[in-house]
Structure 1
Amino acid sequence: MESTSDRQSTVAKQPRLPPELLHHVVESVLPSNTRALIPTTHPSTKTLLTLTRVSRVTYLVASKLLRQRCLYIDSSRRLSDMLLCMDRFVPRLPPTLSLRCITSLYLAPFPASSLDDQPTAIWVRELFCEVCETLRRLVVDMPFETLDPLDDHLNVRRTLREGFEQLGRLEEFVCLGQYPSLSVPDAHTDVWRLWPDLQRLVLFNVPADSHWLWWDVATLPKLGHVVLARPQRLETVNIKDEYFHKLPRDDARLEREIKIVLMDTAEDLPVVTCARWEEIDPRGRMTVEQIHVPTSFYGDETASALVTAWVRRGALEGTIWDWPGERIGKAPARSAPASA
């Protein structure tokens, strides 16, 4: 009969997989789309959680991937749990990437019926203060329109605004379903206007005839891709006229190329005014496209629910910026390049 020492010796002699190979095995658990934010219920997330308990090597890799790809907070309970875990590590295991170092986040901690939840608002502010130095990509789904400023007796809107104001390094912001209106008596500027590194932006229900909308878009120096989902009063505005006349003609910020995408169902997206576009923008620095979201097979969903679902999917997959749209307006003729 084989003794315990013999069995241990046999195990010790068995070849071990190199750490690099184990890394590839763990990484293969995730979808091939490297930009996708993965929900907690996804099989990949569950598998990564299991791999954190297999060995020290898999713990390090799986923990890092969970922080990079699976930060999906869809309840106040998950939000509070995450804050509690900020400084906690598993005993006797190597330290891994801190939760403060996350770069991408999906955040929907409020119930759909009301924003009036002071503890959750405080937790959101605390989370943003913790991750503000590294967070680059944020997808939020919050019922901003459910709390009237006159009824905000607990200062929920101010608390949230203080958190959003910290995100000065954000490059990509997607706000689902409702416009992120967080103005307070002493601060009326939209929070997304405060992020100088912002490059890609998705907004719902934006008033397209607002002077401040196009002022903010024009003055954010790095903003190059804007998706306006279910825009309001679009038929009353000339987009290029508004955008190109907010700053002096020779302002360097108007020299960048920018894409504006209008997204809604075919029934709700109005005809866009294209008057004098070639005169206003002879070099074609701004591209305007429209995307019609198809209705569901059964036709029992509201237009708002349909568009929100489409944008949520594209934002979480990271593919919304690559969706092809129908070009609006005649493309101006480009000058031939100068000969050398």
Structure 2
Amino acid sequence: MPQLPAEIILHVLECLIPPAAPVALSPRDPVTQTLMSFTLASRLTHQAAKRLLFKHCIYLDSDRRLDHVLSQLNAGDGERQPEPVGLFLAPFPYCNLEEPCVIKRVDQLLSHIGGNLRRLVIDIPLRSLHPDEDEQRLRKILRAAFVRLTRLEEFCSVRDELYLDTKETDDESEPPVWSFWPHLKRLALYNVSVEEPGFLQALRQCSNLTHLFLTRPDCLWEPIDPALKGITWWSSLQRIVIVNTAKDYELELQRCGPGWKTSFLGQITCFEDTDAAESNTPTLKAMPSLDYISVKVPPDLEDDMIDTCQEWVCQHAVAGTLWDISGASFTREHREVELPVDEHSS
């Protein structure tokens, strides 16, 4: 019986990876399952399939999977495994950050693959352990690990604003970790206070940032610090998207009060006639587009708007589709977006 040339077999394996590859293919994805089977099929396909698994399928939604990947990376089989360009990281059990062993392994993983990592989605309970409660200084380890990810171009924090402060008081505020990533182009954060000077100064520092997704942000209409007047913190941005539910969207519009013209939204919306002689602010042509995406909440989940929004963002961020989803201009009209089926739930 004639056999296919090895080159064709290996090319078929390569073609399993979709052209617009997600950040990380989940263990339940048919592509991942197929590659796993090919690691057992023959000596020829074993290494090729294993290489593709490491490159495209590092989906760590448990401490067990984190341990398995680390053991494979540290295996002394004489052949260095390729470093993934994308990673989904959610290894902490029971929404608890106070897990020294898990944090140590996360540090090891990011030290191992961080030099090549371009796309990262995290679902980590960073707010579950505050700096004044961190007796084991675990937050310091995590902050240092994430600061090292200087090759990142795309990042999403599902549960928070990448809350990695290690100081106990506001007087000792630290710059956001993502402001240390010079190649960052696309950033998605949850529940960030957008009027904070540190946040706006960090945006200005990210000279390559083009897309900013803010899920359920705070203080959209609060006046920003007068010291920031005239600073174009949006200078590199092309698109800003607010993600929330329709109900909370309407509530947010009602918070628009005195001083709104100097707020985060007030500076980039077209709700007023711009007086070009008033300040050094750029013309509207230089402003980023501002869209709103309203996540539809199923009737049986009306009390879980936070989880619904986080789940929606997580699914699209991991799939790599978040950045191109269309929205509605930030007006009283909004677009409802159907929540996709959670393919990763058990």
What does residue 180 of structure 1 align with?
162
- Cα deviation, residue 265, structure 1: 0.4
- On the 8 A contact 2:203/2:234 being kept in 1, the answer is no
| Match 2:230 to one of 220, 225, 245 | 245
Rounded to whole Å, the distance in 2 between the matches of 1:141 and 1:301 is 21
Q: Does 1:325 align with 2:320?
A: no
What does residue 133 of structure 2 align with?
151
Describe the superposition over 1:173-218 as per-residue Cα deviations: whole angstroms up to 9, x where unpaired: 1100222211123771211111111111000010021111111111
- Cα deviation, residue 237, structure 1: 4.5
- Cα deviation, residue 17, structure 1: 0.7
Rounded to whole Å, the distance in 1 between the matches of 2:34 and 2:234 is 47
Normalized against structure 1, the TM-score is what? Answer: 0.81
Rounded to whole Å, the distance in 1 between the matches of 2:130 and 2:236 is 37
What does residue 343 of structure 2 align with?
none
| Match 1:35 to one of 8, 11, 22 | 22
Cα distance change on mapping 1:155 and 1:53 into 2, 3 Å = same
Larger radius of gyration: 1
Describe the superposition over 1:2-48 as per-residue Cα deviations: whole angstroms up to 9, x where unpaired: xxxxxxxxxxxx32212332134324544564235211122321221
- On the 8 A contact 1:33/1:317 being kept in 2, the answer is no
Rounded to whole Å, the distance in 1 between the matches of 2:51 and 2:272 is 52
What does residue 219 of structure 1 align with?
205
- On the 8 A contact 1:182/1:191 being kept in 2, the answer is yes
Rounded to whole Å, the distance in 2 between the matches of 1:69 and 1:244 is 44
Any residues of structure 2 matched to 1:113-262 within 5 Å, and which? Answer: 113-185=95-167, 188-237=174-223, 245-246=230-231, 256-262=236-242
Q: Which moved more, 1:132-141 or 1:184-193?
A: 184-193
- On the 8 A contact 1:112/1:143 being kept in 2, the answer is no
The answer to which structure, 1 or 2, has the higher relative contact order (CA under 8 A, 6+ apart) is 2
Rounded to whole Å, the distance in 2 between the matches of 1:327 and 1:301 is 27
- On the 8 A contact 1:86/1:98 being kept in 2, the answer is yes
* Structure 1 unaligned spans of 5+: 1-13, 248-252, 330-340
Identity of matched residues, %: 29
Cα distance change on mapping 1:182 and 1:53 into 2, 3 Å = same
- On the 8 A contact 1:290/1:328 being kept in 2, the answer is yes
Rounded to whole Å, the distance in 2 between the matches of 1:158 and 1:256 is 30
* RMSD between aligned residues: 2.6
The one-letter code of the counterpart of 1:106 is: F
Normalized against structure 2, the TM-score is what? Answer: 0.80
SS of equivalent to 1:235:
coil
Rounded to whole Å, the distance in 2 between the matches of 1:277 and 1:238 is 20
| Match 1:292 to one of 291, 294, 297 | 294
Cα distance change on mapping 1:317 and 1:327 into 2, 3 Å = same
The one-letter code of the counterpart of 2:155 is: F
- Cα deviation, residue 61, structure 1: 2.7
- On the 8 A contact 2:204/2:235 being kept in 1, the answer is no
| Number of positions where the alignment pairs a residue of Structure 1 with one of Structure 2 | 305
Q: Which moved more, 1:42-51 or 1:28-37?
A: 28-37
Rounded to whole Å, the distance in 1 between the matches of 2:209 and 2:81 is 29
Q: Does 1:264 align with 2:244?
A: yes
* Structure 2 unaligned spans of 5+: 254-264, 332-346
- Cα deviation, residue 277, structure 1: 7.4
The one-letter code of the counterpart of 2:92 is: F
- On the 8 A contact 1:74/1:107 being kept in 2, the answer is yes
- On the 8 A contact 1:38/1:69 being kept in 2, the answer is yes
| Match 2:33 to one of 40, 46, 49 | 46
- On the 8 A contact 1:193/1:220 being kept in 2, the answer is yes
- On the 8 A contact 1:227/1:262 being kept in 2, the answer is yes
- Cα deviation, residue 293, structure 1: 0.7
Cα distance change on mapping 1:127 and 1:244 into 2, 3 Å = farther
